[in-house]
Amino acid sequence: MKKTGLWSLRVLLAVAALWSFFGWVPLLNSEPLSALAQEQIPIGGVPVWAKSFHINHGAVVFNSYGIPSEDPWPFGIFVAISVATTLGVILSFPKDARSRFFRGRFRSTS
C-alpha cells in the first residue's frame, strides 16, 4: 500500500476511534429519565425519542439509548469500535516503530 493510502487509513481509524470515544464517554454518566425531576437545571421539554440523559457542561443532553445497565448494546458497540480502531492505528505502524515507541513504557520499576 502506498504511504499516502496508509496515512489516510490511519487518519480514518483515528477519527473513528475519537468518534466512538466521544459517543462512549457520555454513556458512562447517563441517567434514566426518571432522575430528571431531581435535577436543578431548567429544561424546555423532553423529546419523545429520549430514553436517558446526561449533563454536559451544565446543559441537559438527551440520548436515544438507555443507560448501559438497561440497554448494554450501544455501550458495548462503542467500546468495541474504540478498541478495534485504536488497535488498528497501532498495528498499522511497522513492528520496529511500535517496539521503539513502547520500549520501556510498560516495564515494572520495582
What would the DSSP string read from start to end of 11-67?
A: HHHHHHHHHHHHHHHHHHT-EEGGGGGG--S--S---TT--EEEEETTEEEEESS--
Over range 23-48, report the average pLDDT. 85
d(CA 69, CA 72): 6
CB 92 within 8 A of CB 10: yes
- Inform me whether the pLDDT recorded for 2 exceeds 80: no
Query: What is the model's pTM?
Result: 0.68
- Tell me if 82 sits within 8 A of 20, measured CB to CB: yes
All three cell numbers of 79 = 467500546
Which amino acid, 80?
Answer: A
* pLDDT at site 65: 87
The whole-chain average pLDDT of the chain stands at: 83
CA–CA gap between residue 69 and residue 50 (Å, rounded)? 16
Tell me the average pLDDT across 32-60. 86
